[in-house]
Amino acid sequence: MALQDVADAMEGDDGKKQRDRLIAVYIGILAVILAVAGVGGGNATKDATARNIEAANTWAFFQAKNIRRHEIRLQISEFEVLLASQPGMPEAARTMIDERLAKLRQDEARYTSEPETGEGTKELSVKAHDLEQQRDVAMSKDPYFDYGQAMLQIAIVLASVSIITGGSALLFLSGALAVLGTLLTVNGFFLLVQIPYVG
């Protein structure tokens, strides 16, 4: 009888050891997913910051081009007023002003749109808006990684506690949080679903 009790106790210990090993593997898997979530969140933050800087630089370049274009427009306007106010101007002076106006109009058109270099105000505006959109997408991804990491960390803690207590309720709660954290992490990468007040 005493031998049977010892055998039962050993069998119980083996079952607990097997359960603890499985939980340890489960915790290891959660740790890997948590690391992936951390990398994804870090990349989203870096992308948002980089696109924001690029957008700000592009808008600054746009402003510089736009100021220069405005100065050229003022010069064109001054020459047009001069020609209109002095109809009896000598032909040589009129020719010189006409040539200067033609050059200024070319410059003004180039500052407005320069598709070959992408540095006209029109192209710069499109580029800056595109960079802002990329920044906004990266910023909307970041909270999913944050919440995913929080859920995964809590799941790891609950699984660890369940090893000590031997209870199953904490393990089931850990599993639910792990699934939620994993889904949030996946959504952080792909933005499959927009959850209100999260991203």
Looking at the 3D structure of the chain, how many domains does it have? 1
- Give the residue-averaged pLDDT of 156-173: 94
pTM of the model: 0.83
Residue predicted with more confidence, 10 or 177: 177
Tell me, yes or no, whether 6 lies in a domain. no
Tell me, yes or no, whether 27 lies in a domain. yes
Tell me, yes or no, whether 11 lies in a domain. no
pLDDT at residue number 12: 61
Tell me, yes or no, whether 63 lies in a domain. yes
End-to-end CA distance of the chain: 63
Tell me, yes or no, whether 59 lies in a domain. yes
Residue 143 has pLDDT above 80, yes or no: yes
Range name among 21-25, 51-55, 91-95, 194-198 with the lowest pLDDT average = 194-198
Which residue range is the domain that position 61 belongs to? 22-190
Q: Are 20 and 163 within 8 A, CB to CB?
A: yes
- Residue closest to 22 by CA, chosen among 194, 125, 175: 175
Tell me, yes or no, whether 57 lies in a domain. yes
Under 8 Å CB-to-CB from 178, ≥6 apart: which residues? 26, 30, 33, 151, 152, 155, 159
